[in-house]
Chain A
């Protein structure tokens, strides 16, 4: 199997003020890495003076709270729906208890009023999710706000 491209969408996940939340994440199967190629996030904040949301791209071992535990499982959408290969990695959104162990890889502030980010990794530098381990996108907002977005990856 190769080049099985997938999207993992999440819609209107509620962020509570000052509480860090992993909004979307993926865990690779034991012997297959996942190349993350895109991440997008947007917010529905209505107050322009609110401080931005801290968006963190984290590696996760998923020692606890793997996808599906204290989170909502997501069916990844295959780009090529004609293919019979099953996506091997597991995905979830809206963690109610944070997964462990998290290691920060990248961080960026995004405004919650009309704020949006679409991070397209360069072709030669995808975010590699190691086999058996994972990735989460963790957000911390100073105010209550909702977020929607997606991950795009490839097995």
Chain B
């Protein structure tokens, strides 16, 4: 499973690499908002890595899981562990339910198995809150290819 997901993730990133060299694709360094021309719209101009470096999540809506494969899985785990260590001294009396759950229940249980990190969809939004706060940049595909077009197609 892992090799197939890694291949699909790399194909998506390669597609974004091409788009980043095309003006008005939405991913080029110089692309700006049509109306508010002071605004850059490419991720790399808004505090995120370029889309060609984003992590790729694979959502399985049947089994209700989100998967990351290969280096993406390792990066997500590193990101979660970093967040966990930053929040070690969290005051549980005033902490949000999401933060408490991440520290007590979710992060300790997650691990990369055979190159794949699997997160239950029922816990995904909590993990997502960390990834968004860490500004890793995320792109997604369906776990079982559903024929969704590649970006820019």
Interface residues, chain A, CB within 8 Å of chain B?
A: 12, 14, 16, 27, 29-30, 44-46, 62-71, 73, 75-76, 78, 80-88, 90, 96-97, 132, 144-146
Judge whether B79 is part of the interface by a CB distance below 8 angstroms: no
A80 to B128, CA, bound (A): 18
When distances are taken between beta carbons in the complex, the residues of chain A under 8 Å from B139 are 68
A148 to B70, CA, bound (A): 36
Select from chain B the residue with minimum beta-carbon distance to A1.
Answer: B122
Q: 15 extra interchain contacts, Cβ-Cβ under 8 A, other than A65-B148, A69-B140, A97-B148?
A: A16-B34, A29-B121, A64-B148, A66-B59, A66-B61, A67-B59, A69-B146, A70-B149, A80-B97, A83-B97, A86-B98, A86-B122, A88-B125, A132-B61, A144-B35
* Contact across chains for B125 and A75 when beta carbons are under 8 A apart: yes
Determine how close the nearest CB of chain A comes to the CB of B137; give it in whole angstroms: 10
Judge whether B129 is part of the interface by a CB distance below 8 angstroms: yes
* Contact across chains for A64 and B146 when beta carbons are under 8 A apart: yes
A70 to B152, CA, bound (A): 9
Given known A30-B64, A66-B61, contact A75–B132 (CB-CB < 8 A): yes
SS class, residues of chain A in contact with chain B:
loop
Interface membership of chain B positions 83-105, coded 1 if the CB is closer than 8 angstroms to chain A and 0 otherwise: 00000000000001110110000
Determine how close the nearest CB of chain A comes to the CB of B67; give it in whole angstroms: 12
Q: How large is the interface on B (under 10, 10 to 19, 20 to 34, 35 or more residues)?
A: 35 or more
* Contact across chains for B96 and A82 when beta carbons are under 8 A apart: yes
Select from chain A the residue with minimum beta-carbon distance to B126.
Answer: A86
Select from chain B the residue with minimum beta-carbon distance to A32.
Answer: B122
When distances are taken between beta carbons in the complex, the residues of chain B under 8 Å from A146 are 33, 35-36
Determine how close the nearest CB of chain A comes to the CB of B39; give it in whole angstroms: 7
Select from chain B the residue with minimum beta-carbon distance to A88.
Answer: B122
Select from chain A the residue with minimum beta-carbon distance to B137.
Answer: A72
Given known A81-B96, A86-B123, contact A97–B151 (CB-CB < 8 A): yes
* Contact across chains for A14 and B149 when beta carbons are under 8 A apart: no
Select from chain A the residue with minimum beta-carbon distance to B25.
Answer: A96
Given known A75-B128, A90-B121, A97-B153, contact A68–B101 (CB-CB < 8 A): no
* Contact across chains for B61 and A86 when beta carbons are under 8 A apart: no
When distances are taken between beta carbons in the complex, the residues of chain B under 8 Å from A44 are 35-36
Judge whether B22 is part of the interface by a CB distance below 8 angstroms: no
Determine how close the nearest CB of chain B comes to the CB of A49; give it in whole angstroms: 16
A73 to B59, CA, bound (A): 12
A123 to B57, CA, bound (A): 36
